[in-house]
Amino acid sequence: MASSDAKTKPSDVSVADFIATVADPRRREEAAIVDALHRRVTGCEPWMWGPSIIGYGSYRYRYQTGREGTACRAGFSPRKAALSIYLMGPYCDDRSEADALFARLGKHTTGQSCLYIKKLAEVDLEVLEELVALSWQIMNARYPD
């Protein structure tokens, strides 16, 4: 069995302390809003994963190659260029429900399991909450405790 040498692991850094260090005041405020949204959806207290990811819950994964590890079930990072919101669930299963939500979300881009938002004011927060909830639901079904 191969194990993960993942760089992104839970740390003891306080989420509140991390958010307080976000240099841009707008991004710091957005981080607080997205943190509150994730706490509502997940019911979890967040942990810092690596130096800049705020994560909620965790799950164990194992690839066909044998590589395995632990990652957060949901999370985000208030990066300088954009808020990076990790939505693993919609990328695992049928994307039709997620695609319909992305179409209603507002100004954003996506990458491999990531949603990028430059300005939180340019998206519909209710739709964002639905996307996070959908991802959380799919991840919980796919990786039950």
Buried-state track 94-106, b at ≥16 Cβ within 10 A, e below 16: eeeebeebbeebb
Is the predicted pLDDT of residue 135 greater than 50, yes or no? Answer: yes
pLDDT in tens, 62-104: 888 988 889 999 999 999 999 999 998 777 667 889 999 999 9
Domains in the chain with CATH codes: 10-140 (3.90.1150.200)
Count CB atoms within 10 A of the CB of residue 82: 17
Q: Closest by alpha carbon to 38, among 74, 84, 88?
A: 74
Q: What is the pTM of this model?
A: 0.90
13-44 pLDDT, tens digit per residue, is: 999 999 999 999 999 999 999 999 999 999 99
Q: Could you tell me what percentage of the chain is helix, strand and coil, using 3-state DSSP and rounding each to the nearest 5?
A: 40, 25, 35
The pLDDT value given to residue 4:
44
